[in-house]
């Protein structure tokens, strides 16, 4: 276990209406107020945004991708240039995933062996091996504040035996990751697998907690199952995890999903939705999503969200529509920036509600507001590529 100046996590306040909690996550690059949302900087950049703009949204931690950086520019290059923080000019905390999810979602011809995953690079077709030991080595070279164990992700729905096999392999890989991990300034999180099978999930939790990780992630969700199924699994898994460790729900999700998960005791999130939807001209607002290419915005002098304090909301909807119609980079930049600001403001509001002991009311109010909008359309947009 790492020792970044003492304990990794303190719960500061627990909501009186739900299992939501406010906490402080300590890392070698500073603290993070939880519940927290991590914007995704896949290739060591949050697409189109200079680091100071991301920081201006209130972002305290970002995520970057082992899989992508392994292929390009290679972790040895990042290490030679002083590590990931210095490389990308982001001096606050960074979490790196292990590549398990991308091997499942992006790589071609993936072969999972007990030794590790063997796949063809989506860039040049070359054969690459990612073992648990290499996943840790890569993350140590990158120098992230939080590293993830390599896990074996499978599609849902799937046969129970396939899910069980993958979960058990993930446990054996987690143990090898723990053994390989050396950096004392980097936390290591285990990942709970087990699909939509509550008993498999609980067995996985038990074994991971036995091994003892700095934090615990819930993986293998948001891979196509209905939100209600995800919430059902969170109901079982989140409370079974140690209260004094941070809990991270990987790759989730829509604003309502974040709040539903927070109510179930989750502390940490990442998702490409604010930035990917932003590049596709979809803006999150308090009043529901806006498609910025729509003709109705042509002469609209209002900002995307009149209640939003972000830099992008100093511009009119008419201007942002023009940027998208003219295929100007500044369109994706401004809507990505706004969407990250929207997520961070939502998380600030969530933390305030927990502090006030009224997160349940806050969640109810958001459920009611957002069910009246077309917020669910995001899914369609999200899958439209980028």
Q: How far is the CB of 321 from its own copies (least distance, A)?
A: 8
Catalytic residue among 15, 97, 214, 305: 97
Active site residue 124: no
Task: Please report whether residue 319 would count as binding its own copies according to CB under 8 A.
Answer: yes
Distance of CA 352 to the CA centre of its chain: 21
Binding marks (x or -) toward its own copies, 15..44, rule CB under 8 A? ----------------------------xx
Q: Give me the count of residues in the chain.
A: 386
22 is in an annotated binding site: no
Q: Characterize 330-364 residue by residue with b for buried, 16 or more Cβ atoms within 10 angstroms of its Cβ, and e for exposed.
A: bbbbbbbbbbbbbbbbbbeebbebbeeebbbebbe
Catalytic residue among 15, 145, 270, 305: 270
* Nearer residue to its own copies within complex by CB, 213 or 324: 324
- CA 113, 115, 121, 122: dihedral to nearest 10 degrees? 50
Q: How far is the CB of 329 from its own copies (least distance, A)?
A: 4
Stretch that binds its own copies, among 2-10, 94-102, 200-208, 311-319 (CB under 8 A): 311-319
310 is in an annotated binding site: yes
* Distance between CA atoms of residues 20 and 335, nearest Å: 29
* Nearer residue to its own copies within complex by CB, 82 or 239: 82
101 is in an annotated binding site: yes
* Nearer residue to its own copies within complex by CB, 115 or 299: 299
The residues annotated with a catalytic role in the active site are: 97, 270
| Site residues, its own copies (CB under 8 A) | 43-45, 47-50, 52-53, 68, 72-73, 77, 80-82, 86-89, 298-299, 301, 311, 314-316, 318-319, 321-323, 325-326, 328-330, 332-333
């Amino acid at each position: 276990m790492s020792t970044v100046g003492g304990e990794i996590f303190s719960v500061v306040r627990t909501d009186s209406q739900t299992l939501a909690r406010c906490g402080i996550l300590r890392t070698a690059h500073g603290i993070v107020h939880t519940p927290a949302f991590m914007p995704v900087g896949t290739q060591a950049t949050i697409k189109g945004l200079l680091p100071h703009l991301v920081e201006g949204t209130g972002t305290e931690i970002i995520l970057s991708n082992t899989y992508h950086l392994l292929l390009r520019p290679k972790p040895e290059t990042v290490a030679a240039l002083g590590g990931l923080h210095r490389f990308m000019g982001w001096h606050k905390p960074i979490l790196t995933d292990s590549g398990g999810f991308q091997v499942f979602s992006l790589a071609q011809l993936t072969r999972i062996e007990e030794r590790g995953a063997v796949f063809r690079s989506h860039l040049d077709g070359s054969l690459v091996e990612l073992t648990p030991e290499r996943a840790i080595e890569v993350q140590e070279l990158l120098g992230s504040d939080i590293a993830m164990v390599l896990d074996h992700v499978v599609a849902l729905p799937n046969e129970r035996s396939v899910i069980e096999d993958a979960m058990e392999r993930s446990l054996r890989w987690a143990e090898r990751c723990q053994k390989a991990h050396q950096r004392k300034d980097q936390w290591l999180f285990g990942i709970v697998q087990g699909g939509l099978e509550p008993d498999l999930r609980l067995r996985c939790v038990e074994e991971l907690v036995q091994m003892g990780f700095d934090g615990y992630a819930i993986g293998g969700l948001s891979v196509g199952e209905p939100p209600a199924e995800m919430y059902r699994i969170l109901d079982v898994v989140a409370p079974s995890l140690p209260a004094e460790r941070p809990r991270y729900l990987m790759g989730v999700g829509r604003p309502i999903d974040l709040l539903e998960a927070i109510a179930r005791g989750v502390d940490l999130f990442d998702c490409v939705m604010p930035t990917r939807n932003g590049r596709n001209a979809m803006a999150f607002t308090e009043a529901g999503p806006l498609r910025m290419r729509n003709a109705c915005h042509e002469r609209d002098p209002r900002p995307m969200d009149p209640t939003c304090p972000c830099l992008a909301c100093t511009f009119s909807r008419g201007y942002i529509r023009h940027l998208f119609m003219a295929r100007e980079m500044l369109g994706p930049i401004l809507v990505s920036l706004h969407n990250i600001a929207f997520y961070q403001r939502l998380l600030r509001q969530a933390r305030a509600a927990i502090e006030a002991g009224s997160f349940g009311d806050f969640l109810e109010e958001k459920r009611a507001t957002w069910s009246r909008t077309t917020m669910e359309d995001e899914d369609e947009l999200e899958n439209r590529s980028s």
